[in-house]
Amino acid sequence: MPQAISNTNVFLRLPAVINKIGLSRSCIYGKVDPNSKYYDPSFPVPVKIGARAIAFSSLQLQVWIDSKLNGGVV
């Protein structure tokens, strides 16, 4: 069943982000690391939600996906 589009902002942990955008764990970490050659300043910055846990904003991810669908390259 298709997932409904929602304006609710929730935290997505890495497995959910991988599933949502189809990129690997290392590719995602490369996009958020300014020292990586794969760094993408338009990619959402993860939020620290615990001592050893990060998450991504679902709305920021959706904006990034929409920008790629409108002519950007993932």
Q: Which residues on adjacent β-strands are paired with residue 42?
A: none
Other CB atoms within 10 A of residue 43 CB: 20
H-type alpha helices, 1-74: 14-21, 25-32, 58-69
Q: From first to last of its 74 residues, what are the pLDDT tens digits of the chain?
A: 455 556 789 999 999 999 999 999 999 999 999 999 999 999 999 999 999 999 999 999 999 999 999 986 65
Q: Distance between CA atoms of 16 and 26, rounded to whole angstroms?
A: 14
pLDDT, position 66? 94
**Backbone dihedral angles phi then psi of residue 11, each to the nearest 5 degrees:** -80, 135
Question: Residue ranges of the domains in the chain?
Answer: 11-68
Q: How far is CA 18 from the centre of its chain?
A: 8
Q: Distance between CA atoms of 32 and 12, rounded to whole angstroms?
A: 15
pLDDT, position 5? 59
pLDDT, position 71? 82
